[in-house]
Structure 1
Amino acid sequence: MIYKKHRRLLIFILSALLGLLSSFTIPALSNSPSPQSPLPLIPRGGPEFPNPQSLAREGQQRYNAGELEAAAKLWQSAAEAYRKMGDREGMTKSLINKSQALQDLGLYPKACNTLLQAFAIKNPNCSQTQIEQLYKTLAQQRDSLTLTQAIGLHSLGDVLRRQGLLEKSQEILQLSLSLIPESPEKSAVLLSLSNTERILGNQIRDRWDYDVVTDIIDRKSISDVLAPYQQAFNYYIAAAKVASAPPIPKIQAQLNHFQLLLETKKWWRDQTNRRIASWSRFGESKLIQRGKDFVSQLELQLNQEAQALQNQISPDLATLTPSRAAIYAQINFAESLMQSAQINQVEPLLQNALQQARTIQDKRAETYVLGYLGKLYHKQGQLNQATKLTRQALMLAQEQNINGDAREITYLWQSQLGSLLRKQGDQKGAIAAYTAAFNTLQSLRSDLNANNQDVQFDFLQEVKPVYIELVDLLLKSNLSDDELNSLIVLNPSITQNKAETQKPQKRLELARQVIESLQLAELDNFFQDPCSEPADVAVQIDNIDANAAVIYPIVLPDRLEVILSLSGKPLQEVVIPISEQEVNQTLDRLYDYLDNVTINNSARNILSTSNPDPRELKENLQTVLPTFGQIYNWLIKPFEAQLDSNQIKNLVFVLNGRLQRVPIAALYDGENYLIEKYSVALVPSLQLINPQRLERKQLKVLAAGVSEQIQVRGEFFAALVNVPKELDQIKQTFPASQKLLNQEFTAKTIEKQLKLNFPVVHLATHGLFSSNPQKNFIITGDGKSISINELSALLKEPGTTVELLVLSACETATGDERAVLGLAGMAVRSGARSTLATLWPVGDASTTKFMGEFYEHLKKPAGKQADALRNAQLSLLESLKINPPFPELKNLPPHPYYWAPYVLIGNWQ
């Protein structure tokens, strides 16, 4: 194992040798370097004490110079000196300043604990309990709190936002604001409140289902678009109007307001274009026109507001005194101008910022400005100049890395250099640059996931391309063995695998390992913390199941590549000459015809009516079968001979992007569905698989369900009348099982029963999984809901070992390709080795029949979980063939909507 310190040093050495540098956005919510300047010093000291004023002054000097770790240590020493002198006020100010330096370093838990220490909290751990108690205590003492405490609360509110505790951040910041009604600090606190409200607005917007967004577009409701952000807009405007405030927070408020308008415009344009593409497939000319009118009206309004802000920002920026905050403000504005296609105004801004950074000798700020100048020249096609500036930015970042931790800067410039070198035809240099960025990200994995949810979403936009670009380059490369070995020196999970010696195997193995790492990073990102530690050695299918094949589809801009892993064989690849756009259009078309609730002729809408039209369903089937056939030709057909000759029985898919919402079992070869020949399972990553087989002897199930109509938070959930029968079947199959029906099924009863060690937990109740972890829930019989985090915590209780979690009436959010991550993460986070669930709602009676078959096959000693799933699906298929729901479907394959949504995620053994 390579320790992080040594790994960073190796990254530095390799990067320096290769001359290595990504696009980066200074966070829109940045209050950098601080919402407030370091608090004023208190003159103290004497012969018997270190001079805390000198320590604090030096801390401020180091902070202003960008030496954040040194500043934090000096402020800690100052706080200790003040404490020994009995000066509580001086200690508090020093700790608040130390916390700000820790925040700027991204060390949010430490920053939070430091602030709690400043408020005299014993044994601080930044738990919600401690935060709630602090808020309660200070709210009661509101009239006696000092300005210093108000500033401390402001800083705490920022830390809580960055840790994703948005409601707590909101409360703490509102308390801080109430303590400083006429202070110059008011603008900075309003800015922080705006930033918190902005992320809360993102959460509201991102929780809207596909059909809710479609309805807003259809109604052309600008007010609904802006509603989630109205409070943020109000606070931004108020922050910019505080007369007594210093200029920095006022300009930051204007910049963040400006960025929010641009982001809102882009989000709704993308969402509307996605709907227009669907409507175009169905010739919905009226809807298409409404969508175009909506975008036009929205952009007209937002453009007018953005232009008014821009007219205020430009002259105000020119008056700022050089400082890190002023430099970052100029970078933020430059980035916004690039996003809004006003690129001709960017260079003067960045050149001025660069001169200021050099004047105040702030190396950290200088590396950002140089990197952004590189990005600007990249956009303008001036590749040589862009490369030169990017290298300079990278070297400065690496200098910072030796004495501190600047990895979050380093990977940006490494990947930007990779992009530049690739455009200039230097494939080897580009691979080296992206590999260095990849290794930097690997060492940052746990730290990145300590950031807040807003930063985490940027992680997908900025970090995922590093993985994809590296895989793209590797798969196209013709590097020698020595060159490949030099690239993987920083990845012990690959270098320890010495078995493969053939050049194609090494190239493909490295590409496969990067894709596995992307899967892990995306799963971590989904939950904002590392779900599970991967194995140190690259996991091979040989070690898990000799009769299984693992298939990795990799969607790249100009092609689809599929990697096949067979036991005891070198990795194989096939290249499908189809663009990412064509792949996504095919997958979107399939979704539209299967599960899109906003499309009249989707299978979901046809079958949800009280009297389905068999002709519509027949037409729908005849449309989706060729699409399932096309995906089969991509993923399976090229490997048919190898699968047959190696007697493969189980196909395991590692999926990403829109492929995650495809019911893989329904891939169609022109005569049969895939499930008719193979068992099928999905895994987020082989590195997360525990290959231990489910022990069949004396298997028992904790089976809980809700059969009655139930109301939760004002929403009614339909009765599942067949649930009692479903639970009875489980009890008959496994007599040692325990049933919990309706009111018996609560979070407390589940917690109590789990202590009796049930290897299988079966929940027959309504639930939803989406790309937003906070929108993942299941309904309990007492009219409450259990979130994915709460359920995971229950399943992880000491002494609890859950092998299989079955969610028989839950569904994934419509139109949400990342929703399957909720299912995958459920297993990983809870400790359950696998999860069985459905991609869309399935009929109550059909589910009961399916589950009965599944458990009958699960109890067979020699079978696998994937075999039990396959046999249950085959049973439904055969039943539908013999007794089709409509005579018109008699000579056609059974429609996948009836039987294909069931997916097994995780261990298939």
Structure 2
Amino acid sequence: MGQYNRAIDLYEQDLAIAREIGDRAGEGITLGNLGVVYRNLGQYNRAIDLYEQHLAIAREIGDRAGEGRALGNLGNAYNSLGQYNRAIDFYEQQLAITREIGDRAGEGRALGNLGAAYNSLGQYNRAIDFYEQQLAITREIGDRAVEGRALGNLGAAFYSLGQYDRALEQFGQAVALFNQLGARAEEAVFLSNIGVLLNDRDQPELAITFLKASVDIRESIRGDIRQLDRDLQQTFTDTIASDYRILADLLLEQDRVLEAQEVLDLLKLQELEDYQLRNVRGTEETRQGISFWPPEQEILDRFYTHLETNTDPQTFFTSAEVTDRVAQLQRNARSQNPNPEQLARLQGNLQQAGNAALLYPLVLDDRLELILVTTSGISRHTVPVDRVELNRAIAAFRSDIEDPFSNSLPNAQQLYQWLIAPLADEIDAAGAETILYAADGQLRYIPLAALHDGDQWLTQRYTLNHITAASLMDFSQAESAPLSILAGAFPAQDLVVEVAGVQRPFSGLPYAQVEVENLQANLPGTVAFFSAGFNRQAIEPRLGNHTIIHLATHGTFQSGHPNDSFILLGDGDRITLFDLDQWQLPNAALVVLSACETAVSGPQLGTGEEILGFGYQIQRTGARAAIASLWVVSDGGTQVLMDAFYGAMQVGLPKAEALRQAQVALITNDFAAVGGNRGIEIFSTVTGQPLVPGGTLAHPYYWAPFILIGNGL
């Protein structure tokens, strides 16, 4: 279920009991189970240590079957580390033991493991030999699910050799078998493989059809316990989410823009799954799945009928019936919408959001695609910048805006030319004053507000509202309610906290204390907790009683695994991204993390999945929106920005507009629009000295790090 910390806790209790009563076999099994959890967490060296302990116990008590399992697990860990030859050595030992004790199922697993290792080494013919041996055993013992895995693995190996006809045959057999078994998640994997293969053969309409069938299945099982066995993801794509990207890319190339937007919306949910957030749920709209044209549905129906009597799908794809339906798609699908009600509904939502425009970028290897939806239409724009060049500019821009003494304008203007300039006339013609922005990939690491058109920053021109996906957003405008704030402030002194067994220092935040004190002074009824008093016991029982939750503290959200991402409380306790599952905030209009570093951390930029994950988890609590930072912020500058933000909220501005006006106030040093300066000074309330040389906070380092995710209305 992805609840790895809970699994570890239970296994460690199990281990303690086994050791207490002297159950050596049970001790070994539990050590192996712990190793599996740590391998799932990517902590391969820790997993290896546990597997080696299991192996030693199995050999000590003569448990040959346990010894084989431990050897196989060691092979899996080294395989994950890319040490394929070492993995092969363990797999061969596993194979010898399973043959010695007559464990045919275990023998099949060992042969499959060897095939996977040789496949990773590029020795595809040798991999095929092992997969074929595994296939023979699975058929002999009647293990149909593993038979499907072997068939799929064979297909992937043949694909790598460029033997597309043989690969297609194996994938087709795997699809038929998993369809018979009702193994929908596994069926989706191999439908996707067929789609990717057909795309490589320059058959885009057929590739789209099979990729859509794969995505549709995955969406139909959304919200269930994670059904897909990771061992069955033996595909030649990096992640499941990459299949969504391939499908969106193909649809855009065929000028099927609304269908592409639909897939991009679903991509956000799948990226959350890949980030290992558990039980990712869609909405009524996403649960409807993918829209199919009638010829696409007919092709799929005939494909399954064909597989009932013929194991070779090649004759199917060259048949007159399929050729005729592909021709229909070529005539009718381009520039048309299979689901016109969807576009009307989306445009109605944009009208409800104050005549907003919706911007979906898609970062591809060779270009950037922009999809713009306004109340008057939908359009696609292709920008000839490849992924490498775009990511280089993103990294350079982040370096600029994280340094208050840098000149950020050149990169800010370059990114504007790529992301906004192609759309600006359409946005303005539609009368849109708000941009709803569903960022993609590394674009999630930069604030749209800090792009520059040559005359002004984008935040001076538009209200900017980041969203996870349009289908996940509540576009309704909430009734105005009094500001009822629960606030917490990290200590002014440094604090050392143990994180993953390592002692990590976190610097004191004196301005966080001032920030929360200002909330108390200016917003009557604010409930505030400081330093060690800012803890779970104090805040969690009260969370559901307030419209705004304001946490002025450290936080770190990292790519890799949600357990590595957390909000730090004043007593050193941590609330992980998983822990947010337990929060219920039905009355909250906003959660503000005015932290040192909240939405992203680490020197290396990933795919931004942690930012997407944070926005989604806050949304699941019931809160309408969240504000978080994209880099290590200025403690004092943040105090000024937050004072201005709450001043704007007090005069009745909506959340996203209040953030915009606070940013403009820092840029211009004019606080009239946010209720006056309310005693705000560009000077430290702690030392009395200017916060920065010259006493200005106009650089985007101070005002741009915070983004609003969710409903900012």
d(CA) in 1 for partners of 2:470, 2:252: 20
Q: Residues 326 and 189 from structure 1, CA distance in 2 versus in 1: closer, same or farther, beyond 3 angstroms?
A: farther
Q: Residues 671 and 561 from structure 1, CA distance in 2 versus in 1: closer, same or farther, beyond 3 angstroms?
A: same
Deviation at 1:884, TM superposition (A): 11
The CA deviation string for residues 406-464 of structure 1, in whole angstroms up to 9 with x for no partner, is 11220111111111111112222211111111111112222354789999999994311
Q: Is the 8 A contact 1:237 1:254 kept in 2?
A: yes
Structure 2 counterpart of 1:818? 609
Structure 1 counterpart of 2:686? none
Alignment of 1:235 onto 2:23: no
Q: Is the 8 A contact 1:702 1:761 kept in 2?
A: yes
Structure 1 counterpart of 2:267? 518
Q: Residues 579 and 250 from structure 1, CA distance in 2 versus in 1: closer, same or farther, beyond 3 angstroms?
A: farther
Deviation at 1:637, TM superposition (A): 0.7
Q: Which amino acid aligns with 2:529?
A: L
Deviation at 1:549, TM superposition (A): 1.0
Equivalences for residues 393-432 of structure 1 within 5 A: 393-401=174-182, 406-432=183-209
Structure 2 counterpart of 1:629? 413
Q: Residues 637 and 419 from structure 1, CA distance in 2 versus in 1: closer, same or farther, beyond 3 angstroms?
A: same
Deviation at 1:245, TM superposition (A): 3.0
Alignment of 1:858 onto 2:649: yes
Structure 1 counterpart of 2:365? 557
The CA deviation string for residues 130-179 of structure 1, in whole angstroms up to 9 with x for no partner, is xxxxxxxxxxxxxxxxxxxxxxxxxxxxxx98896223124325645776
Q: Which amino acid aligns with 2:587?
A: T
Identity %: 27
Structure 1 counterpart of 2:168? 387
Q: Is the 8 A contact 1:666 1:673 kept in 2?
A: yes
Greater Cα offset, 785-794 or 416-425: 785-794
Q: Residues 855 and 694 from structure 1, CA distance in 2 versus in 1: closer, same or farther, beyond 3 angstroms?
A: farther
d(CA) in 2 for partners of 1:454, 1:761: 41
Q: Which amino acid aligns with 1:255?
A: G
Deviation at 1:530, TM superposition (A): 3.3
Equivalences for residues 189-204 of structure 1 within 5 A: 191-199=32-40, 202=42
Corresponding residue to 1:774 among 563, 577, 581: 563
Q: Residues 455 and 332 from structure 1, CA distance in 2 versus in 1: closer, same or farther, beyond 3 angstroms?
A: closer
Structure 2 counterpart of 1:264? 81
Q: Which amino acid aligns with 1:639?
A: L
Q: Residues 320 and 474 from structure 1, CA distance in 2 versus in 1: closer, same or farther, beyond 3 angstroms?
A: farther
Alignment of 1:727 onto 2:516: yes
Secondary structure of residue in 2 paired with 1:552: strand
Equivalences for residues 126-145 of structure 1 within 5 A: none
Secondary structure of residue in 2 paired with 1:447: coil
Q: Is the 8 A contact 1:730 1:737 kept in 2?
A: yes
Larger Rg: 1
Secondary structure of residue in 1 paired with 2:224: helix
Corresponding residue to 2:449 among 647, 655, 665: 665
Deviation at 1:589, TM superposition (A): 3.7
Structure 2 counterpart of 1:573? 380
Corresponding residue to 2:433 among 624, 639, 649: 649
Structure 1 counterpart of 2:300? none
Q: Residues 378 and 636 from structure 1, CA distance in 2 versus in 1: closer, same or farther, beyond 3 angstroms?
A: same
Deviation at 1:529, TM superposition (A): 2.5
Q: Which amino acid aligns with 1:244?
A: G
Q: Residues 535 and 306 from structure 1, CA distance in 2 versus in 1: closer, same or farther, beyond 3 angstroms?
A: closer
Structure 2 counterpart of 1:871? 661
Deviation at 1:561, TM superposition (A): 0.9
Q: Which amino acid aligns with 1:834?
A: A
Q: Residues 307 and 774 from structure 1, CA distance in 2 versus in 1: closer, same or farther, beyond 3 angstroms?
A: closer
Q: Which amino acid aligns with 1:171?
A: Q
The CA deviation string for residues 224-246 of structure 1, in whole angstroms up to 9 with x for no partner, is xx4x4452352364377467334
Q: Residues 388 and 180 from structure 1, CA distance in 2 versus in 1: closer, same or farther, beyond 3 angstroms?
A: farther
Q: Is the 8 A contact 2:223 2:282 kept in 1?
A: no
Corresponding residue to 2:251 among 470, 474, 481: 474
Q: Residues 430 and 826 from structure 1, CA distance in 2 versus in 1: closer, same or farther, beyond 3 angstroms?
A: closer
d(CA) in 2 for partners of 1:860, 1:524: 40
Q: Which amino acid aligns with 2:525?
A: A
Structure 1 counterpart of 2:463? 679
Could you tell me which runs of 5 or more consecutive residues in structure 1 were left unpaired when the two chains were aligned: 1-107, 109-159, 206-225, 266-301, 478-503, 596-602, 608-616
Corresponding residue to 1:900 among 680, 704, 713: 704
Structure 1 counterpart of 2:675? none
d(CA) in 2 for partners of 1:689, 1:368: 38
Q: Is the 8 A contact 1:547 1:648 kept in 2?
A: yes
Q: Is the 8 A contact 2:185 2:228 kept in 1?
A: no
Q: Residues 195 and 787 from structure 1, CA distance in 2 versus in 1: closer, same or farther, beyond 3 angstroms?
A: closer
Q: Residues 723 and 588 from structure 1, CA distance in 2 versus in 1: closer, same or farther, beyond 3 angstroms?
A: closer
Structure 1 counterpart of 2:587? 801
Equivalences for residues 719-798 of structure 1 within 5 A: 719-754=508-543, 757-771=545-559, 772-790=561-579, 793-796=582-585
Secondary structure of residue in 2 paired with 1:445: coil
d(CA) in 2 for partners of 1:695, 1:903: 23
Structure 2 counterpart of 1:100? none
Q: Is the 8 A contact 1:762 1:808 kept in 2?
A: yes
d(CA) in 2 for partners of 1:459, 1:858: 50
Secondary structure of residue in 2 paired with 1:540: helix
Equivalences for residues 482-501 of structure 1 within 5 A: none
Equivalences for residues 214-613 of structure 1 within 5 A: 226=45, 228-235=46-53, 237-238=55-56, 241=59, 244-247=62-65, 249-265=66-82, 305-306=86-87, 308-309=89-90, 312=93, 321=102, 323-401=104-182, 406-449=183-226, 461-477=238-254, 507-526=256-275, 528-536=277-285, 540-543=346-349, 544-567=352-375, 569-592=376-399, 603=403
Deviation at 1:721, TM superposition (A): 2.3
Q: Which amino acid aligns with 1:540?
A: L
Q: Is the 8 A contact 1:177 1:189 kept in 2?
A: no
Q: Residues 182 and 694 from structure 1, CA distance in 2 versus in 1: closer, same or farther, beyond 3 angstroms?
A: closer
Structure 1 counterpart of 2:325? none
Name the Cα RMSD after superposition.
3.6
d(CA) in 2 for partners of 1:460, 1:753: 45
Q: Which amino acid aligns with 1:769?
A: F
The CA deviation string for residues 174-216 of structure 1, in whole angstroms up to 9 with x for no partner, is 6457767566x8865554343234345x25x8xxxxxxxxxxx
Deviation at 1:704, TM superposition (A): 2.6
Deviation at 1:746, TM superposition (A): 2.9
Deviation at 1:319, TM superposition (A): 5.9
Equivalences for residues 698-709 of structure 1 within 5 A: 698-709=482-493
Q: Is the 8 A contact 2:358 2:436 kept in 1?
A: yes
The CA deviation string for residues 296-343 of structure 1, in whole angstroms up to 9 with x for no partner, is xxxxxx577446446645656776747333223222221121112232
Q: TM-score, normalised by structure 2?
A: 0.79
d(CA) in 1 for partners of 2:269, 2:5: 20
Q: How many residues align?
A: 626
Structure 1 counterpart of 2:297? none
Greater Cα offset, 456-465 or 408-417: 456-465
Structure 2 counterpart of 1:212? none
d(CA) in 2 for partners of 1:788, 1:810: 17
Structure 2 counterpart of 1:171? 13
Deviation at 1:683, TM superposition (A): 0.5
Q: Is the 8 A contact 2:31 2:51 kept in 1?
A: no
Q: Is the 8 A contact 2:360 2:437 kept in 1?
A: yes
Greater Cα offset, 839-848 or 317-326: 317-326
Structure 2 counterpart of 1:123? none
The CA deviation string for residues 616-657 of structure 1, in whole angstroms up to 9 with x for no partner, is x34xx2xx4333323222221111111111222111111132
Q: Residues 589 and 802 from structure 1, CA distance in 2 versus in 1: closer, same or farther, beyond 3 angstroms?
A: same
Q: Is the 8 A contact 1:824 1:835 kept in 2?
A: yes
Secondary structure of residue in 1 paired with 2:284: coil
